[in-house]
Amino acid sequence: MKLATLGPAGTFSEVAAGLFQPEQDHDIQLLDNLVSCLASVGRECDAAVVPIENLTEGFVSPVVDYLVQRPLRIQAEIRIPVGFQCLSNSANPTQIWAQFVAAGQCNQYLHKLGLPIIHTASNAASLQALLAAEAASAAIVPQHISCPETLQILNNNIADNPRNETRFVVLSATSEEPEFNKDQRWKSSLLLIDDNDHPGLLVDSLQVFAKQQINLTSIVSRPAGSQFGDYHFFIDFDGHRSEQGVASALEELAAMNNIHWLGSYPAAEIGKQ
């Protein structure tokens, strides 16, 4: 299987892609941006492994927005810990390179350092800039990156949230879903599309889930782009569409709303598919 994910080499996305069906020899394609990864699904690639939610930063808006326009199917989810370290070529650096998301998740450490921050396009670019630097410098890089021999670790755990993690999803263009196993915990995802100016869209939908005693694990709104006050809703919940309560809820929701079904898939533990 050919898998698209966000490059360059060494990204958290590449780590997540490597955890998907590790017993199989997938061909992992490292692409420049998330939209390219998503657009390749069903075309140049069979599936994409993309981040959809971070414990600190919340949902990844470009992924949710893309699914509104092209409802791909979630085949699996992968959760990985997200930690950062500070590497340096000197015990007393005078500047630091950091990718903007990494910098945002290490604010407290950066504030304590008080160094000028040079933003980069990726964590890999931060490391490469440090390796090429002649001046006393530092860089924020993921914890899973080994420290080169020419550098030193100033601090091996600098994230604001030591329990931070990112949830990735495996998206495909096929309607096939993993085979249901009642002994496993399952999750499902869908989009409620606000295209009929339905007053109380969210409230009515939440009541359907409550009536069937279905636990919602996350819900996020995205602007419909038509006028202020119109929103689409991305919803994750416990259960599989084969289960009676979920099936009944989906039938009732479909009668009320335009639904983009995104799939039922095994719930992942951190560090596992």
- Cα separation, 159 vs 140, in Å, equals 10
Four-way CATH pick for 2-81+165-175+185-266: 3.40.190.10, 3.40.50.11810, 3.30.70.270, 3.30.70.260: 3.30.70.260
| Overall average pLDDT of the 140-147 stretch | 95
Question: Residue 252: what pLDDT?
Answer: 94
Going by their DSSP bridges, the two strands 258-266 and 186-193 should be labelled as antiparallel
At the topology level, CATH places domain 84-155 in D-Maltodextrin-Binding Protein; domain 2 (3.40.190)
Residue 196: band (very low, low, confident or very high) from pLDDT cuts 50, 70, 90 = low
Which whole number is the average pLDDT over 98-110?
Answer: 93
CA-nearest of 163, 209, 159 to 189 is 209
Per-residue pLDDT at 128: 94
Instruction: With a cut of 90, say whether residue 49 has pLDDT above it.
Output: yes
What's the mean per-residue pLDDT of the chain? 92
Contact 86, 154 (CB under 8 A): yes
Share of the chain above pLDDT 90, in %: 76
Residue range(s) of every CATH 3.30.70.260 domain in the chain: 2-81+165-175+185-266
| Alpha-carbon gap, residue 98 to 96, rounded angstroms | 7
Vertex 55 angle, CA 22 and 104, to 5°: 110
Residue 220's pLDDT band, with cuts at 50, 70 and 90, is very high
Q: Where in the chain is the domain with CATH 3.40.190.10?
A: 84-155
> Would the pLDDT of 98 be above 70?
yes
In the predicted model, is pLDDT for residue 116 greater than 70? yes
Burial 95-128 (b: 16+ CB within 10 A, else e): bbbbbebbbebbeebbeebeeeeeebebbbebbe
